[in-house]
Every structure is written in C-alpha cells, then in structure tokens.
C-alpha cells in the first residue's frame, strides 16, 4: 500500500485550521511526529498513517504522563510556576500603575509645582 503524505496546510485543516506555529509546537513537544522532507523540496510532508498513530497515542493516558514527565525533566516551566510568574508580573504592574516609576517622579513634579505656586 502506498503511503499518503499531507502538506502542512492539509494537516492544519485536519486539526481544525490550527496555525502553522501550533503544528511546529506540537512537533517540538512530541504531540506529532516530525514531518518528512523530500530531496529537492523545501516543504514538509506529514505521513497520514503516522498522524493516525499520533492521534491514538495522544488519547493514551500513559503517554500523556510520559510526555509531562519528559517536559519536567528537561526543565520546562510547570503550570504552577507560570501562575506564580503571572501573579508577580501583575503585582509589579499594579505597583507601577500609581505613577511613573512607582509615583516617585510624579510626586517630585507635583511638589515642585506646588512650591512654585506658593513662591517658596
């Protein structure tokens, strides 16, 4: 039986018109097998049978745990760490929302303005 290969656009449509970047991320994370490049052709091709196997494996809970462990082992950021970083970033933004550089320069400007008005 001849192998059937799909171009990147066809694979994107197969998964609900996801972006090309999403496909690249899925390949990098192991969700999809890497595409094949034929000699003299710069375009990637995905083997349909391999995509079917990848889809079946994605539903397997053991494989999901294996991928999660592998991502943790190579130093990928965990969900909890991402949440902590997001909270720190939000706190920083709220602190600087008072004024330019935490309000220090704004307060000095207002102080100088009020001193100029009062003539001191």
pLDDT at 89: 78
Residue 110 domain boundaries:
80-118
* Sequence-separated (6 or more) residues with CB below 8 Å from residue 55: none
Cβ burial 63-91 (10 Å sphere, 16+ → b, else e):
eeeeeeeeeeeeeeeeeeeeeeeeeeeee
Residues 89 and 108 in one domain: yes
Whether the pLDDT of residue 12 is over 60: the answer is: yes
pLDDT attached to residue 37: 93
Question: Which range has highest mean pLDDT (51-55, 65-69, 102-106, 114-118)?
Answer: 51-55
The domain that contains 39 carries what CATH number?
A: 1.10.1660
Q: How confident is the model at residue 33 (pLDDT cuts 50, 70, 90)?
A: very high
Are 9 and 68 in the same domain?
Answer: yes
Q: Quote the pTM value.
A: 0.50
């Amino acid at each position: 039986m001849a192998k059937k290969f799909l171009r990147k656009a066809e694979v994107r449509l197969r998964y609900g018109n996801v972006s090309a970047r999403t496909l690249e991320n899925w390949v990098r994370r192991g969700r999809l097998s890497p595409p094949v490049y034929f000699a003299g052709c710069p375009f990637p091709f995905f083997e349909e049978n391999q995509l079917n196997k990848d889809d079946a494996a994605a539903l397997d809970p053991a494989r999901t745990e294996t991928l999660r462990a592998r991502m943790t082992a190579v130093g990928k950021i965990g969900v909890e760490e991402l949440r902590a970083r997001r909270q720190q970033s939000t706190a920083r933004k709220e602190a600087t929302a008072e004024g330019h550089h935490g309000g220090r320069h704004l307060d000095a400007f207002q102080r100088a303005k009020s001193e100029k008005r009062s003539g001191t």
